[in-house]
Structure 1
Amino acid sequence: MSRVRPGRWLLALPMALLALATIYPLVFTANVAMKTRREYVLDRFSLADALRWENVATAWNTVDMARYLANSVGTVTASVVLLLLFGSMAGFALSQLRFRGSSVLFLGCLAAVFVPFQVIMVPLNRIMADAGLVDTYPGLVLAYVAQFLPFTIYLMTSYYRTIPTEIVDAARIDGNSVYGVYRRIMLPLGTPALLSVGILDALFCWNDVLIALLLMPSAEHRTLMVGVTSLRGQYSADIPTFASGVLIAAIPVLVVYLLLQRQIADGVAAGSTKG
């Protein structure tokens, strides 16, 4: 019978606590969503007596969650596609192509990652208003791309730098143009990083409230997270209904993670060990 090494326990214990801290809020929210107002007021930490899906139905129908869900899916999908396209192109150029000023451009992208959105929200709103992009889906997509593109470029550049330059040189000798090298060589090799970065960008865009609230003032153009926020205002005394709205917003992200968890893990491992 093999002994369990003490080092494994030292690693497993904090990991288990981290997993518990991550899972418990979702379980607590789902439990509250199944309660009545009376049950929640009497004991918010007890288990629900029954599965009451009427709270979910109320949250879904009251603030037009179906429209908000469609708005979020559309804007997040378009934003992630553009982020991956521009980010992979810029990452390839900054990591593999030799031109003057590439290091300065990379440092500029890195510096932009640390600029809080609150610093640029006023000029951004002014620019969007002058361009007629306020309360439009293209305006929101452009704002997401502008906000999260530096992060995407930084990660893609860091990943592409682990790919030997001899591969690019050999492809150029074989007659490929710069675009051909990007499409035939760099995109396939960058698939693990693209998947991981795409998941992160999707989470950033999906969970955003401030940008969507600033640029989409009309009710019919709200995203799902903004809709959940408005639900909190309407049902400030009805916490189970609000918890149902939070649960609705969390389910799509949870489903995507459960379906792609192996690919996400493989992408993170490839990005951390390659080279």
Structure 2
Amino acid sequence: MRGLRPSRWVMAVPMAALALATIYPLVFTTNVAMKTRHDYVLDRFSLARSANLDNLDAAWTSDGMQRYLVNSVVVVTLSVALLLLFGSMAGFALSHLRFRGSRAIFLGCLAALFVPFQVIMVPLVRIMADVRLMDTHAGLILAYVAQFLPFTIFLMTSYYSAIPAELLDAARIDGNTPYGVYRRVMLPMGRPALLSVGILNALFCWNDVLISLLLMPSAEHRTLMVGVTSLRGQYSDDIPTFASGVLIAALPVLVLYLFFQRQIADGVTAGSTKG
């Protein structure tokens, strides 16, 4: 056992450094949000003297923040629902329904994962403008579905591939159509993966700034992350208030991760092994 200790340290030290690098920005932002403007100007790295909630209140009551939150909740909820529906149906079809071109479709979804959004953002804006979906929640939802659907299909296909075909054959013998097999067998058995993929997609959509900034130019339809960036100009000389806005936007994601961190980890490894 002693011979394993050096190898454990080799893994533990980088992981600890990565954890600190991930946690420090959140701790620093929280500390800045608790400071007054005067204290921040004097020493931005010192600890806050007390838990000052005035900055949080100022950020929350600033123009449009509540509306931005509602916009984000609506867009993220509908986007995730559509992603789970289309992703689970496509995953079932590509993993267990053999048809001509299924392999090419799966490889196409896999290849789409490697296309940066910056490559397609100009054509996307042109298309959205042509179909009059610019500055609408429907357009942003469709953009999110198109952007994150290949990842959802890939993960659901991998997960469903691990389900024995004998279960589906038994369901067909009982008289189920392909839709019945999907609804009565695949959806119940795919709940762990659906939960994990749903959480990951919710995090992706919630944290997005670039797509929302391109497709939602008006302040009325902005999402929360884009709205927080506008605080940087409104409170350019009041960094603690801006940090409070960042903290408000990050809090739902943090809570979601803390409650579902095991499901997120399970979803990343879903379908990686069979049996």
> Is TM (by shorter chain) over 0.5?
yes
Partner of 1:81: 81
> How do 1:194-273 residues align onto structure 2 when only pairs under 5 Å count?
194-268=194-268, 271-273=271-273
The C-alpha deviation readout for 1:94-141, integer Å capped at 9, x for no partner, is 111010100100111111111111221122112212222111111111
The C-alpha deviation readout for 1:39-87, integer Å capped at 9, x for no partner, is 2222211100111111111111223211101110110000000001100
Identity across aligned pairs (percent)?
Answer: 77
Tell me the CA shift for residue 211 of structure 1.
Answer: 0.9
Partner of 1:133: 133
Question: In 2, Cα distance between the equivalents of 1:184 and 1:197?
Answer: 20
The C-alpha deviation readout for 1:213-255, integer Å capped at 9, x for no partner, is 1111111110000001111122222211111010000001111
Question: In 2, Cα distance between the equivalents of 1:57 and 1:193?
Answer: 38
Asked if 1 retains the 8 angstrom alpha-carbon contact of 2:200 and 2:264, the reply is no
| 1:44 aligned onto 2:41 | no
Question: In 1, Cα distance between the equivalents of 2:4 and 2:89?
Answer: 46
What's the Cα RMSD here? Answer: 1.8
Asked if 2 retains the 8 angstrom alpha-carbon contact of 1:72 and 1:223, the reply is yes
- For normalisation by structure 2, the TM-score amounts to 0.93
Ranges of 4+ aligned residues in structure 1 off by more than 6 Å:
none
Q: Secondary structure at the match of 2:142?
A: helix
Aligned residue pairs total 274
Partner of 2:165: 165
- For normalisation by structure 1, the TM-score amounts to 0.93
Question: In 2, Cα distance between the equivalents of 1:266 and 1:112?
Answer: 23
AA partner of residue 44 (structure 2): R
Partner of 2:22: 22
Asked if 1 retains the 8 angstrom alpha-carbon contact of 2:56 and 2:244, the reply is yes
Asked if 2 retains the 8 angstrom alpha-carbon contact of 1:80 and 1:202, the reply is yes
Question: In 2, Cα distance between the equivalents of 1:74 and 1:229?
Answer: 20
Tell me the CA shift for residue 273 of structure 1.
Answer: 4.6
Quick one: structure 1 residues 266 and 119, their matched pair in 2 at CA, closer, same or farther if it must change by over 3 Å?
Answer: closer
Q: Which range moved further: 66-75 or 17-26?
A: 17-26
Asked if 2 retains the 8 angstrom alpha-carbon contact of 1:63 and 1:227, the reply is no
Q: Which range moved further: 70-79 or 209-218?
A: 209-218
Q: Secondary structure at the match of 1:104?
A: helix
Asked if 2 retains the 8 angstrom alpha-carbon contact of 1:192 and 1:271, the reply is no
AA partner of residue 252 (structure 2): P
